[in-house]
Amino acid sequence: MTLAKVTNQRERDKFEENSEGNAAIRSILDPEQIETITPPAAITGFATSVKQLEDGHNVKITDGTTPLYIWSNGGITSVKAVHWRIRESKEWLGGYCWSGVEDAASVYLHIKVGAKSAHGVGSMSSDGKSQVFLYESPTTTDDGTGLSEFCMNRETVVAPTVTLFRDPTVSADGTELECGVTGQAGKFTAGGGTISGAYWLLKPNTNYLIKVTNDSGGVADIAIHYEWHEHVAV
């Protein structure tokens, strides 16, 4: 594998902003100023990760999490991390919508993490006042009803190690990690709302629950979703 090395002063740097509002610094280099070198052994994570791109001029260098593209003219472009994960089929989404949940009743999204750690965010919405909790290591007598885990790159089908279920039989919720509420309806305001939780790194081979309790005083519709990516645990 080779890396591009600049032997003379770079021609100029340009600060750009793309259509999504993400800024990046791009170096514009004269091709005659570039030579190729072999990286020292101390640079790890690159030795087996070089790929010629479709146009025959670009090279992708990556350690599996952070891609770096080097063009033949020396330009360097950054890619938003979530966009890269979706494009590489490394981002998933799953969830469920419940209708007519009785007052004081609870619904559960059961997250079963497999051999890889899961990094992601849970979210919920309801049309009435609700309480939401995230629990670790609950006690359940069954997994519940299985749900679909959707790869967010719809051009491919890649299965995650996380599996999702709804409404398991729960005897103990487990360790509470996070909580939140949606508001009660008022004279001039609607009840409910949407909550996105914190970004959590979930342990491999561990179970989690997102629990939502209807606290509206009447029936309510509730939705829970989980979006995540995975990698081998540290």
The stretch 174-190 carries a mean pLDDT of 79
d(C-alpha 2, C-alpha 35), whole Å: 9
**CA 113 – CA 134 distance, rounded (Å):** 14
Q: What is the residue-averaged pLDDT of the chain?
A: 76
Give the chain's radius of gyration (CA, Å). Answer: 23
Q: Could you give the dihedral angle defined by the CA atoms of residues 138, 142, 145 and 147, in that order, rounded to the nearest 10 degrees?
A: 50
Q: Which position has the higher pLDDT, 232 or 53?
A: 232
Residue 218 has pLDDT above 60, yes or no: yes
- pLDDT value of residue 69: 53
Among the listed residues 158, 165, 121, 157, the one whose alpha carbon sits nearest the alpha carbon of residue 140? 165
Give the range among 5-14, 144-153, 207-216 with minimum mean pLDDT.
5-14
- Tell me how far apart the alpha carbons of residues 127 and 70 are, in angstroms, rounded to a whole number: 49
| Cα→Cα distances 211→47, 105, 113, Å | 45, 10, 17
Separation in Å, CA 105 to CA 28, 84, 208, 220, 226: 60, 40, 19, 10, 21
Q: Are 185 and 200 in contact (CB under 8 A)?
A: no
Tens digit of each residue's pLDDT (9 = 90 or more) over 131-153: 999 999 999 999 999 999 999 98
Summarize pLDDT for 51-78 with one digit per residue, the tens.
444 544 555 555 555 555 555 555 566 6
The pTM of this model reads 0.66
Task: Identify the structural domains of the chain with CATH numbers, from first to last.
Answer: 3-79 (no CATH), 92-231 (2.60.120.380)
